[in-house]
Amino acid sequence: MITLERDAARALGIRPSVSAVIFDRRGRLLLQQRSDGEQWGLPGGSVDIGESVRDAIEREVREETGLTIAVRRMVGVYSEPAFQVVRYPDGHVWHSVTLCFECAVRGGELTTCDETLALDYFSLRRLPPTLLANHRVRIRDASAKRGAPFIR
- Residue 107 domain-assigned (yes or no): yes
- Asked if residue 26 has pLDDT above 90, the reply is yes
Give me the domain span that covers residue 71.
3-145
Whole-prediction pTM:
0.94
Chain segment 4-16, per-residue pLDDT in tens = 999 999 999 999 9
Amino acid at 8: A
Domains held by the chain: number = 1
Beta bridge partners of residue 73, listed in sequence order: 102
CATH number, domain at 67? 3.90.79.10
N-terminal to C-terminal alpha carbon distance within the chain: 24
Chain segment 48-67, per-residue pLDDT in tens = 999 999 999 999 999 999 99
H or E element that contains 60: helix 53-65
Report the pLDDT value the prediction gives residue 147, as an integer from 0 to 100. 86
- Residue 150 domain-assigned (yes or no): no
25 vs 101: CA distance, rounded Å: 17
Chain segment 67-89, per-residue pLDDT in tens = 999 999 999 999 999 999 999 99
Q: What angle do CA 30, 89, 34 make, to 5 degrees?
A: 15
Average pLDDT, the chain: 96
